[in-house]
Amino acid sequence: MRIVPARDGGLCRIRLNGGELSAAQARVVADAARACGSGFIDATNRSNLQIRGVRTGAENQLISRLIEAGLGPATPDSDDVRNLMLSPLAGLDPYAMLDVTPLAGALLDELQCDTRLRALSPKFAMMLDGGERLAMLDHPHDVWFSAVSANQFAFGLGGCPPTLSEHSPALASVESGHVPAVANALLHTFLDLALPEQTRMRELLQTHSAEAVLDHVQGKLHFQLKQNAKDWRRPASNARLRFGVHPQRNQGAVCIGAQIPLGRLDASTLQALADLAPRMRMTPWQSVMLLDVPVAEVESAIERLKALDLATTPNEPFARLIACTGSQGCAKSFSDTKADAHQLASLMPETGNVHLSGCARSCAAAHHVDTTLLAVAPGRYDLYTHAPEPVARHITIEEAARWLARSTTDA
């Protein structure tokens, strides 16, 4: 694990396997954020956490606390390769094709034990999708596997599982038991073929056809890949399921989802969440799912979530607003996006999603958002909808709110 500099102090990324954190681990993170950092913890759009404001001299203490809590990599120097995205409902959703968590464990073990894979970029990411009703399907991955049935996965490169006929189809399919071997062959193929400046699969695909990559992969396997998934489309995910109460495979317990306002928690809120459930999962929407909540405790847990200012329904302003770190923590930002988003929250119309970005890198939104406010100066934004050109320039938050209200009325 390592700590990188940011405007508000050191930044420590905690990669969570499948986004999961036990209550005991959450308490360790909260204590460590207070003792070694600013006390603020960000939820990321890769279902991880980041402790912010790490003080100079406190780095080793912080890393020791996290490793002792089981939040470090399985082998030294393998932290950066632990990028495997699962549904927040993996292993829990009774409607999924299968429980992918054992397969995810095998893939994570392999990623961390194969020393050659440490040459992959820390951003190189895989997705393992069990067909859960809630999954982030518009967040591109270097490699994705998606369950077609309980014993077969389609896979593709540099994108997402297709949900519509116009989307790029799956490259091929593979039996569930062969997924680790195919993943290994795909990652080694990338390392075999990529030029030094090509760090992501989409870059490799600019110089090699998907078929050429697949041929190289096939050469590493002792079984035949099936090219029978061209017409397969993944059922759409319902992002609203990240809110509210949902059944789990294990009877008698449920999971409860809520949105963390602007993806930022303070240590006491994380500690309070740990008191509500034995484990939780962070989601790619920068929200949290409390798991294994006894049915009898649902009502009180929801009341507590509301008291903690988490959004428990999809229509609340903070369920529809995202903002990047902004100028408080990022030198690239033209504005304090989080403070501006707080101001906008009180002015938001009743529908529509808004993303505030401090610069064009758009770190906070890997998925589609109705309206993007791109900072151009402190408190000033260009407003984009679907077109590459802004529909309004250099506007204030109040002007943006008025534009949003008008567009809602016109719609």
Judged by CB, which is closer to ligand SF4: 282, or 364? 364
325 sits near ligand SF4 (criterion: CB under 6 A): yes
Judged by CB, which is closer to ligand SF4: 9, or 72? 9
361 sits near ligand SF4 (criterion: CB under 6 A): yes
In the set 358, 371, 395, 401, which binds ligand SF4 (CB under 6 A)?
Answer: 358
Judged by CB, which is closer to ligand SF4: 125, or 341? 341
Judged by CB, which is closer to ligand SF4: 130, or 263? 263
**Structural contact between residues 29 and 70, judged by C-beta atoms closer than 8 angstroms:** no
324 sits near ligand SF4 (criterion: CB under 6 A): yes
Q: Quick one: angle between helices 101-113 and 179-193, nearest 10?
A: 40
Residue 376 CB, nearest approach to ligand SF4 (Å): 12
Residue 213 CB, nearest approach to ligand SF4 (Å): 30
Judged by CB, which is closer to ligand SF4: 259, or 333? 333
**Dihedral pair phi/psi, residue 153, rounded to 5°:** -120, 135
Judged by CB, which is closer to ligand SF4: 162, or 329? 329
Judged by CB, which is closer to ligand SF4: 6, or 298? 6
The 3-class secondary structure across the chain, one letter per residue, is CCEEEECCEEEEEECCHHHEEEHHHHHHHHHHHHHHCCCEEEECCCCCEEEEEECCCCHHHHHHHHHHCCCCCCCCCCHHHCCEECCCCCCCCCCCCCCCHHHHHHHHHHHHHCHHHHHCCCCCCEEEECCCCCCCCCCCEEEEEEEEECCEEEEEEEECCCCCCCCCCCCEEEEHHHHHHHHHHHHHHHHHHCCCCCCCHHHHCCCCCHHHHHHHHHCCCCCCCECCCCCCCCCCCCHHHHCEEEECCCCCEEEEEEECHHHEEEHHHHHHHHCCCCEEEECCCCEEEEEEEEHHHHHHHHHHHHHCCCECCCCCHHHCEEECCCCCCCCCCCCCHHHHHHHHHCCCCCCCCEEEECCCCCCCCCCCCCEEEEEEECCEEEEECCCCCCCEEEECHHHHHHHHHHHHHHC
330 sits near ligand SF4 (criterion: CB under 6 A): yes
Residue 135 CB, nearest approach to ligand SF4 (Å): 24
Kindly report the number of other CB atoms within 10 A of residue 406's CB atom: 11
359 sits near ligand SF4 (criterion: CB under 6 A): yes
Kindly report the number of other CB atoms within 10 A of residue 164's CB atom: 8
What x/- string results for residues 332 through 351 when contact with ligand SF4 is judged by CB under 6 A? xx------------------
Judged by CB, which is closer to ligand SF4: 289, or 369? 369
Closest CA relative to residue 28, chosen from 55, 68, 59, 60: 68
Residue 129 CB, nearest approach to ligand SF4 (Å): 26
* Binding segment toward ligand SF4, per CB under 6 A, in 117-125, 252-260, 283-291, 330-338: 330-338
363 sits near ligand SF4 (criterion: CB under 6 A): yes
Residue with the closest Cβ to ligand SF4? 358
Judged by CB, which is closer to ligand SF4: 293, or 359? 359
Residue 264 CB, nearest approach to ligand SF4 (Å): 12
Residue 49 CB, nearest approach to ligand SF4 (Å): 16
Judged by CB, which is closer to ligand SF4: 361, or 406? 361
Residue 314 CB, nearest approach to ligand SF4 (Å): 24
In the set 25, 45, 353, 357, which binds ligand SF4 (CB under 6 A)?
Answer: 357
Subset of residues 182 to 211 that bind ligand SF4, contact rule: CB under 6 A: none
362 sits near ligand SF4 (criterion: CB under 6 A): yes
- In the complex, which residues of this chain contact ligand SF4 (CB under 6 A)? 324-325, 330, 332-333, 357-359, 361-363
